[in-house]
Amino acid sequence: MKVLAFIFAILITGAHGSCNIGSQTDPKGKATPEDPTNYHEFCISSLRNQVKMEFEAALQYLVMGAYFDQDTINLKGFGKFFWESADEERQHGLQFIKYLRHRGDKGLDFFQGDIEAYSKKVFME
C-alpha cells in the first residue's frame, strides 16, 4: 500500500515530466479561472485513476476481511488486518479527492443537481 503511494508520488513529481505545473501557476498556489487546476490533463487523469485504484483496493480488502471473519474460517486477526487496510485505502482515496478539489478539479458530472443525487441515493437503499 505504502509502496504503491511511493511509486505514484515518484511518477507525479517528475519521472514523466508531464505533471509540471508550468508558468501559469499562481505563486500562492491558487487556481486561475483560465486553468482552474493548473495541471496538465495527464496529471489530472493520473490522480483520478489513483482515486479509483484506492477505492477498488478498499473494496477488495473489505471482501477479504469479510472472508476471514467468517465463523468457518475464523482467522480474526487476518480479518482485522484487512478491515483496517480497507479503512486506510478509503482514507487515501478521500485525501486524493480533497487534493483534486483543492486544486480546482470539478470531477465528473454524474448528477444534474441535488435532487437527482438524493433520488439515486434513495434508490440504492
CB-neighbour burial class of residue 5 (10 A; exposed 0-12, middle 13-18, buried 19+): middle
User: Residue 33 has which C-alpha cell?
Assistant: 479561472
Would the annotation count 92 as a binding residue? Answer: yes
3-state secondary structure of 50: helix
Would the annotation count 41 as a binding residue? Answer: no
Amino acid identity, position 103 = R
Binding site as annotated, residues for Fe cation:
54, 89, 92
Binding residues: 54, 89, 92
